[in-house]
């Protein structure tokens, strides 16, 4: 786990990629910026470009069709950068793992710094894990 905390201080920008998700993880991630969980209050924001992002979150099992786009997104990010597996599919515990299209998780494509477990992870858990990363904590292991 790279020490990004001292650099991030109290602001962290997140670029998210759906790599074959059922969209459950995206629904929960979208909720973190709403008025209930209000992630911006904690210095967290979701951005549209990888060039603006400190952290790449990825959901889904990382299908073969998405692997190349995911690598290009990662390359477009500046250094230092973190990669987070959002949800059990990206963590390699996908119910569709091993099917003709599904991959075996994010770890097969990119180096994973932290995992946010759950199917899907609840919004408050997503905020908690991202805040921990922002503070320089290791988060959940890859």
Quickly tell me which residue has 């180096």 as its tokens: 111
Select 4 or 16, whichever has its Cβ closest to ligand SF4.
16
CA 29, 3, 1, 112 dihedral sign is positive
Q: Nearest to ligand SF4 by Cβ — which residue?
A: 24
Phi/psi of residue 138, nearest 5 degrees: -80, -15
Nearer to ligand SF4 by Cβ, of 25 and 70: the residue is 25
Residue 124, C-beta contacts closer than 8 angstroms, at least 6 positions apart: 37
In the bound state with ligand SF4, the residue whose beta carbon lies nearer, of 59 and 140, is 59
Tell me how far, at minimum, the Cβ of 15 lies from ligand SF4, in Å.
17
CB of 34 to ligand SF4, least distance (A): 18
Q: How far is CA 28 from the centre of its chain?
A: 12
45 vs 96, beta carbon nearer ligand SF4: 96
The Cα-based distances of 62 to 12, 29, 82, 119, 139 in angstroms read: 24, 17, 17, 15, 21
Output the smallest distance, CB 120 to ligand SF4, in A: 4
Residues in touch with ligand SF4 (CB under 6 A): 21-22, 24-25, 59-60, 87-89, 94, 119-120
| Residue 5: CB minimum distance to ligand SF4, A | 26
């Amino acid at each position: 786990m790279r020490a990004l905390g001292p650099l991030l201080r109290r602001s962290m920008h997140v670029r998210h990629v759906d790599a074959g998700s059922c969209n459950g993880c995206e629904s929960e991630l979208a909720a973190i910026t709403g008025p209930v969980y209000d992630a911006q209050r904690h210095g967290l924001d979701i951005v549209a470009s990888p060039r603006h992002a400190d952290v790449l979150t990825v959901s889904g099992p990382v299908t073969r069709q998405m692997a190349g786009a995911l690598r290009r997104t990662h390359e477009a990010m500046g250094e230092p950068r973190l990669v987070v597996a959002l949800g059990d599919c990206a963590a390699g515990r996908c119910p569709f793992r091993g099917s003709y299209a599904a991959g075996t998780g994010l770890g097969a494509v990119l180096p994973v710094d932290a995992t946010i477990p759950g199917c899907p992870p609840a919004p408050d858990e997503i905020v908690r894990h991202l805040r921990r990363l922002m503070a320089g904590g290791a988060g959940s292991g890859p």
